[in-house]
Amino acid sequence: AAALLRALRDGGRRTAVVSSSRNARAVLDAAALAPLLDTVVDGTDAARQRLRGKPAPDLFVEAARRLGVAPARGFVVEDARSGVAAARSGGFGLVVGMAGRGAAQAEALRVHGADLVCQELSELTVVNDPCPPALEHLDEIAARLGRGRPAIFLDYDGTLTPIVDRPQDALLDPPMREVLGALAARVPLAVVSGRDLGDVRDRVGVASAYYAGSHGFDIAGPNGERHQHPQAQARTAALDAAQAMLQARLFKVQGALVERKTFSLAVHDRLVADADLPRVREAVAAAQVANKGLRVQVGKRVHDFQPDLPWHKGHAVRWLMQAIDGRAAQPGGGQTGSAGAAAGGAAPADRLVPLYIGDDVTDEDAFETLAADGVTVAVLDAPRPTAAQYRLGSADEVRQLLNALAGRLAPGADEG
């Protein structure tokens, strides 16, 4: 126990011990473990704060509160069935059961909700990587998705296809299209892209998928549904003006590309010589100042003009989750809360569990939005800060992950 606690502390993780015993602190002091902990929640605390005991989650939730972490971002190690059940009902991100050498106990812990079962603490290894490789954590990801009904949300450029110099050259290869089709036959699948909706839908070509274009301002479903953010429609005149201004100013900048979408506008500078990049930045800044009601997000060699509204890819994913469950209003209509709220009180097994994979700055909004109840994966060609929980290194690794998950999902997993 001491070795595990030291490794957790060395990695910057906060730790707590939860016990129904009123003597827990004395026992920890005697074992010289107290200095390695950030807090203890024991029977004395339970009595004073009127916290219910296991299998109610109160003790664990109180520990998470003291540590300043959402339960979904924490993990629990427990050897009792009631404790495993408590952690699971509390919504903790990972629940590890300690079974000793008893096979019956191991199975019982799994039945009560343990994601993983170990014989002893020495089997647990602390990896001091805030964004570990997704392909090395397939079992963990599959277990998290298996807590409800999986739904998969994917960016396009840099995620399903490699980044290319010209946007028109980003073509989906047949193996990727095949795995997307296999997944869409099993679970709800959506592509959420900065591209125009019609463009990304044509490029992916999976009829049963959902699509969100213009960074989520323009959404279509597999049965002919089409929803556009109502307030974004009022910003198209500003986008028109910005487009005209940028095309005029960048006309003589070799390699600069102004790409218009329904509700966004992209200025690509990947093919622009370094000496001309200041001209691109100056043109972008001038267009933003001259056209009120627009914001600019800087991505991988691209400047994206979007309606300056409280809407982004994370909101779009929430809306899509509600649409999949038949509860969505018009985008921007206010139904963009947590998945728990979107589920309308549904039992955990009936709730959608989103997996989101993306590579760019605009995907960080989705990573943050889904942090508490989803699985998020960043595609990183180089180290950078990210809110994602896991990482992949390329579009090929994305295909490997999706292919592995497709093999674990039963056909029709999204039904009923």
Q: What is the pLDDT of residues 282-317, one digit of tens each?
A: 999 999 999 999 998 878 889 999 999 999 999 999
Residue 34 has pLDDT above 80, yes or no: yes
d(CA 85, CA 87): 6
Return the higher-pLDDT residue of 189 and 408: 189
Q: What is the pLDDT of residue 129?
A: 62
Write the Ramachandran bin of 214: left for phi over 0, alpha for psi from -120 to 50, otherwise beta: left
Q: Starting from the edge strand earliest in sequence, which strands make up the sheet with 294-298, in order?
A: 257-260, 265-268, 302-307, 294-298
pLDDT in tens, 152-166: 999 999 999 999 999
Helix, strand, coil share (%) of the chain residues, nearest 5: 40, 20, 40
Q: Percentage of the chain with pLDDT > 90? A: 62
Residue 7 has pLDDT above 90, yes or no: no
Question: What is the total residue count of the chain?
Answer: 416
Q: What is the pLDDT of residue 94?
A: 82
Residues classed as catalytic: 155
pTM, to two decimals: 0.67
Q: What is the pLDDT of residue 366?
A: 95
Give the chain's mean pLDDT. Answer: 88
Number of C-alpha atoms within 13 angstroms, CB side, residue 154?
Answer: 29
- Model confidence at 334, pLDDT cuts 50, 70, 90, reads very low
Residues 6+ apart with CB under 8 A from 24: 17, 40, 42, 43
Return the higher-pLDDT residue of 326 and 140: 140
Q: What is the pLDDT of residue 343?
A: 41
d(CA 153, CA 359): 12
Is 200:154 a contact under the CB 8 Å cutoff?
no
d(CA 370, CA 355): 9
Average pLDDT over residues 176-195: 96
Q: What is the pLDDT of residue 339?
A: 38
Domains of the chain: 2-128 (3.40.50.1000), 143-231+310-406 (3.40.50.1000), 233-307 (3.30.70.1020)
Least confident interval from 177-191, 290-304, 311-325, 387-401: 290-304
Identify the DSSP state of 374.
Answer: S
Q: What is the pLDDT of residue 340?
A: 39
Q: Closest Cα partner for 192 from 290, 281, 264?
A: 264
Return the higher-pLDDT residue of 93 and 139: 139
Is 332:126 a contact under the CB 8 Å cutoff?
no
Number of C-alpha atoms within 13 angstroms, CB side, residue 98?
Answer: 12
Number of C-alpha atoms within 13 angstroms, CB side, residue 34?
Answer: 12
Residue 383 has pLDDT above 80, yes or no: no
Burial class (CB in 10 A: 0-12, 13-18, 19+), 94: middle
Q: What is the pLDDT of residue 342?
A: 42
Average pLDDT over residues 20-41: 90
Which tokens in the block code for residue 95? 């629940």
- Specify the long-range contacts of residues 201-210, CB closer than 8 Å, at least 24 apart: 203/156, 203/170, 203/171, 203/172, 204/156, 204/160, 204/172, 204/177, 204/180, 205/172, 205/177, 206/177, 206/180, 206/181, 208/184, 209/180, 209/184, 210/320, 210/323, 210/324
Task: For the beta carbon of residue 304, count every other beta carbon within 10 angstroms.
Answer: 24
